Structure 1
């Protein structure tokens, strides 16, 4: 039964709607995502909603009347699931998602097997970025209505197929957002078996293939979309992008031109011009796109790259700062800004951005970083910073000899510098050449730090040296270095992990856990901390088993 307080809340929602309407307050928000690199734009999709009040030709003008009527009907029929779902549709139209969710919660309380309510709540959870709950609802819906049409009771097959396709497609999208790409492919494939012409499933499967760099599969799906809907701007735009990545620039420009006729704020043709090194044409397209939509992160990032190639570094920095205001965790923008900072001799800012980007998205950022750094070294062979950055990238990729070549060269140019000494010591540590590693760290630690940058690298040298001492079972020296580093930087995840590993090797499991768990509160996915905790758990389990075995043996002997 519908709770009385929910009706009261809904009435208050109506009053709020009336106030917003009178004051002209905007209640609906636009969502636009046109990032080429992630291929995660909002797409043309099959509509999963059944006809409702929210589907009227002019929902804003009728919203107050429609919702009032629905509420009145709901008071007369408080157990009517369809009215609750219609009410949720109305609230979704008004972007009042909390009230919409409350309506769907009540509908599912009344009928836990309502696939319509489960599907809509799954959609709503997706909108709220609550992907696990969305996945749970879509899975429940599919268990109730599996893909076999004979299992349905009271519904014709003509209604069944689209609903199951939508559920599969929606669940696939959740898997995609959660990076479960193989599961996403399975659901989109199942949806397309039921409805081979489902544009939503084709487009989203193309997005998964894009993430997997399976570009021929992307083209196959987007070609099908464009056979069904030749003016689909999304498919044109991204087929053009794939053509560009494959070096098919004529086909790319043909698709981009078509997309631009449909959507004048599209910035993707500018990207193709950039790839063709037609920088003035690229700027013209990107300027136009940004005049129409200034908050276009993709256009800002692309224009910054054009500015970079034209040596307009200050303009590039302005665009990258704007892009990062829109998306603070954009690794591509952070890496690009780091390179611009480097060119402008703002080395500390450069290192902060590049280190962050490399930690977040190593595979993609490393490739882009190497391209830029190769250019920098070709232009200025003795540039210490470019050599050191490139060495760090090659170190991360496991190309240790290439890294050492760059660092040796950097140290010939500038033999008393923290950066190359610490970086070379880290490479030798990865090669398990501990004597050489210690020699580099000891040399680096002879110099007095002059600024925050030097302090940071002094700390890194201390942590590395402490870690090596721990490996060599020189625990007193190890803890001395690690304690000193953590006094300066108490929240150093690297330092906490190294000290935790040292305590673990000493059998001090409680102290080890404290450090490692603190590290995980700062970086919840840190593999070093997780690996060390796993070792501790296995050691403790083995100790308990041995103790149990000894106890049992004693009992049998007695």
Structure 2
């Protein structure tokens, strides 16, 4: 229960917690999942699948698509150098494959070779200007470099040609969020959720923007849904702790911060939340 004389302290703490939540999101990478190219399929990176694809290549060494497919499998398995080698082989055999350029660009991004990634996305788009995977991927590369103008242009271009692309709405929402345009961000995250309700990332992002506009109840709802979809999201656990702390549910907040720390010991939002609770701080 918040006493009247504590209202000013409460508002200041809430603003600080919301800002901390946003900083955590800003440092979080979405990765090569459903919102950044081909959806992740762990089975594709299995040794059995890679062995099978190798047999196909051995029997058909001039099959560019087989190299591309195995390159994707290597990428799913985290064998990024092998993935690049296969994409190189595929492009030697078929230099017009815009899909292969986009796949190699995604691997270059995972290798933090952003210049190479941008070059490959540009090659893909020169071959197929409306290729949405390359537009979203290039937009995210620009966003990672802090070039929000070109990133917004790519996401807007995707949305203008396909208003059902959840990835474009989600990633555009992240830019609005970084610009503290939280109402616009919430709208984009809501659209992304409507288009793909089974992805956890938009719920986490919308929950954080709800914290920023002082709606801890809506934030708690979104972060709970996100954790039902992905229980291993330290960002979601930490921000759910913020929402619970803002509502004065301190024991529950502590449990959420502790869960976040187990998943990611470097999570500053969770660490600071636990420290605040241990000091007897009151939201």
State TM-score, norm by structure 1. Answer: 0.38
Matched, 1:333 2:195: no
1:21 matched to which residue of 2? Answer: none
Closer, same or farther: CA 35–263 of 1 in aligned 2, 3 Å: farther
Distance 2:156 2:148 in 1: 12
How far the C-alpha of 1:182 sits from its partner, in A, is 3.0
Structure 2: how far apart are the matches of 1:273 and 1:38? 15
Deviation at 1:300, TM superposition (A): 1.5
Query: Given the superposition, is the C-alpha separation of residues 178 and 356 from structure 1 closer, same or farther in structure 2, using an over 3 Å criterion?
Result: farther
Is 1:299 the counterpart of 2:168? The answer is yes
Q: Aligned equivalents of 2:35 and 2:89: distance in 1?
A: 20
What are the within-5 Å matches in structure 2 for residues 354-373 of structure 1?
Answer: 354-363=223-232, 365-366=233-234
Question: Deviations 1:79-108 (Å, cap 9, x if unpaired)?
Answer: xxxxxxxxxxxxxxxxxxxxxxxxxxxxxx
Q: 1:341 to 1:200 in 2, by over 3 A?
A: farther
The Cα shift of 1:197 comes to 3.3
Name the structure 1 match of 2:187.
Answer: 318
Label 1:177 to 1:216 Cα distance change in 2 as closer, same or farther (>3 A): closer
For 2:84, the equivalent position in structure 1 comes to: 219
Q: Answer yes or no: is the 8 Å Cα contact 1:391–1:406 preserved in 2.
A: no
Query: 1:329 deviation in Å?
Result: 0.4
Question: What's the CA shift for 1:314?
Answer: 1.4
Deviations 1:331-375 (A, max 9, x none): 222222222222222223323332333343345x33x659x97xx
Q: Which residue of 2 aligns with 1:39?
A: 38
Contact 1:341 1:347 in 2 (8 A): yes
Structure 1 partner of 2:96? 231
361 and 213 in structure 1: CA distance in 2 versus 1, 3 angstrom threshold: farther
After superposition, the C-alpha distances for 1:165-210 in whole angstroms (9 at most, x for unaligned) are xxxxxxxxxxx57567233222222222222333333223223322
Which structure has more relative contact order (CA 8 Å, sep 6+)? It is 2
TM-score, normalised on structure 2? 0.70
CA distance in 1, matches of 2:222, 2:78: 26
1:497-550 Cα shifts (integer Å, max 9, x gaps)? xxxxxxxxxxxxxxxxxxxxxxxxxxxxxxxxxxxxxxxxxxxxxxxxxxxxxx
* Matching residue within 246, 250, 260 for 1:393: 260
Please say if 1:197 is aligned against 2:62: yes
* 1:209 aligned partner: 74
- Give the conservation status (yes or no) of the 8 Å contact 1:304–1:316: yes
- C-alpha change, 1:284 and 1:232, in structure 2 (3 Å) is same
> Structure 1: where are the runs of 5+ without partners?
1-33, 42-175, 378-382, 418-558
Cα 1:187–1:297 change in 2 (3 A) is same
Distance 1:189 1:362 in 2: 35
Contact 2:44 2:73 in 1 (8 A): no
Map residues 456-535 of structure 1 onto 2, 5 A cutoff: none
If you compute each CA radius of gyration, which structure gives the higher value, 1 or 2? 1
Query: 1:308 Cα shift?
Result: 1.2
Aligned to 1:288: 157
Structure 1 residues 338 and 183: alpha-carbon distance in aligned structure 2, compared to 1, 3 A threshold: farther
Classify 1:210/1:407 alpha carbon distance in 2 versus 1 (closer, same or farther; 3 Å).
same
Indicate the RMSD between aligned Cα atoms, in angstroms: 3.4
Secondary structure of 2:279's match?
helix
Alignment of 1:56-455 (within 5 A): 181-265=46-130, 266=132, 267=135, 268-363=137-232, 365-366=233-234, 384=245, 390-397=257-264, 406-410=273-277, 412=279, 414-415=281-282
| Per-residue CA distance 1:269-325 (angstroms, 9 max, x = gap) | 111110110011111121112111111122122111111111111111111111112
Aligned-partner Cα distance in 1 for 2:208–2:162: 26
CA shift, 1:411, in A, is 5.0
Give the secondary-structure state (helix, strand or coil) at the position aligned to 1:325.
Answer: helix
Aligned residues: 237
Aligned counterparts of 2:157 and 2:96: Cα–Cα separation in 1: 21
Whether contact under 8 Å (1:36, 1:241) holds in the other structure is no
